[in-house]
Chains A and B, each alone.
Chain A
């Protein structure tokens, strides 16, 4: 079942066209990743879906309802939680207050969800009375993910969860992301610069370049493609002369 379906989305920063007609689908229970270089429009896509930016054209349908142009607080109420780039926790509030704010859009009790978050991130429980600003980068990322979970979202969007984290911590975070997907059946849309780990974690992938989707498919197929191998995974094939071919072009252009 398709949870999120984006069609021909166009978003502008002033006069600059950041998204040039993007279409993606996210099915229930899967992890979808969007790969792309800096400035490709990944974060813009996330922000447009979350309602932080308004699209000029195109449609965003979530669970069959159009959410394009809604305010962010309405989008959360529909069941989409964004874990933003750069963590963005509330620095002077305690960890527990940060988490409770994650459930702001819900009126029902959220004690169970708090336990669930603490179960996945025990360090947060240990430090729950401390101000979030004192946490390390990795712990803040855990807090941001936990805050997103508190909304009990039907779709969780993670923007660059590895930003500024050590390789080891990145693996830990992605391990938890995969567990959340497998054990709690959280559908996820994942934007990531680190193509290796993103392709290993996700089920389906899209490649975004200059505001356009240039490739799509199951991640195994993407990972096997020559273009992805060379331009995203950094593998070089040896030519007959044993040198890298500098002028190789991407085949989708």
Chain B
């Protein structure tokens, strides 16, 4: 029973890691680089939703505040690509790494100066509600987290598989030059992908905030999510989600049964094991690019 209880909480946690990892993968595919500000985008998204929704702030209804926050963060992601990332197009990948780390600091500072550094709680209609049955307690926010993650993943999959822009985005990530010459506006697609990853980060942030207080430093969760993305293969959307769930489930179980601080290290231990045994990640794309 105890194990099951831990696993359900871990699953919900893992969904959040997975969603942030999805953001990593999206941007890795579009810009061929890692956006280390992904965790901070999640944090900013959560705070924007909190600023719009909490009664002490703008006081919109939760169901209105969250979509608006998603739209705003889509704009932030889109703008970051448009204004900053596009300028360093063609520079070594390292430039993007440094740039996004710096951007993460900026986001943290912005959130800190607007909302302060004391933890705040996002007001939700389902706060503190639990379902009980058979000796297990499941909080409604856990259930919502899992449900939303499933829905969002399916939505993203459908977007890439069936829409014109989704197909173009796949093409651009597989062969940028070829995408250009068939008429795909690669730059515009990249902007959309950055926007999308901002939106996904916001969903992750709001889900995170439904489960506890937030402060501007929660973005550091992004490092764990990065480990999740690497476990999944840093180029695969289902892999990212699976990586997140693995980490989320192992963490609390290691915390309960393993000695010492092993729980905190567990994401990185798993990452190392995966990197040593399957360097391409669990969902590595199967064949190398032919030259």
State whether the Cβ of B87 lies closer than 8 Å to any Cβ in chain A: no
A147 to chain B, nearest CB (A): 6
Distance between Cα atoms of A133 and B291 in the complex (Å): 11
Partner of A91, one of B183, B184, B287: B287
- List A81-120 residues whose CB lies under 8 Å from chain B: 81-82, 84, 86, 88-93, 97, 100-102, 104-105
Partner of B181, one of A52, A133, A134: A52
Chain A positions within 8 Å of B, measured between CB atoms, are 50-52, 71-73, 76-77, 81-82, 84, 86, 88-93, 97, 100-102, 104-105, 133-134, 140, 147, 151
State whether the Cβ of B168 lies closer than 8 Å to any Cβ in chain A: yes
Give every chain B residue within 8 A of A134 (Cβ-Cβ): 287
A189 to chain B, nearest CB (A): 14
Q: Mark B163-196, 1 if CB is under 8 A from A, else 0.
A: 0100110110011011111111110000000000
Distance between Cα atoms of A100 and B186 in the complex (Å): 17
Contact size range, B: 20 to 34
Is B181 a contact of A84 with CB atoms below 8 Å?
yes
Distance between Cα atoms of A76 and B285 in the complex (Å): 30
Is A84 a contact of B177 with CB atoms below 8 Å?
yes
> B168, B170, B178, B179 — which one has the most chain A CB atoms within 10 A of its CB?
B178
Is A90 a contact of B181 with CB atoms below 8 Å?
no
Chain B positions within 8 Å of A, measured between CB atoms, are 164, 167-168, 170-171, 174-175, 177-186, 285, 287, 289-291
Give every chain A residue within 8 A of B186 (Cβ-Cβ): 73
Is A76 a contact of B175 with CB atoms below 8 Å?
no
> B164, B180, B182 — which one has the most chain A CB atoms within 10 A of its CB?
B182
> B184, B285, B289, B291 — which one has the most chain A CB atoms within 10 A of its CB?
B184
Distance between Cα atoms of A77 and B185 in the complex (Å): 11
A81-B182, A88-B175, A105-B182 are known; give 17 further A-B pairs, CB within 8 A.
A52-B177, A52-B181, A76-B182, A81-B181, A82-B181, A86-B291, A88-B177, A90-B175, A90-B178, A91-B174, A91-B287, A92-B174, A93-B167, A93-B170, A97-B167, A104-B182, A133-B290
Is B180 a contact of A72 with CB atoms below 8 Å?
yes
Is A101 a contact of B168 with CB atoms below 8 Å?
yes
Distance between Cα atoms of A190 and B164 in the complex (Å): 31
Is A91 a contact of B185 with CB atoms below 8 Å?
no
Distance between Cα atoms of A52 and B164 in the complex (Å): 23
Is A52 a contact of B170 with CB atoms below 8 Å?
no
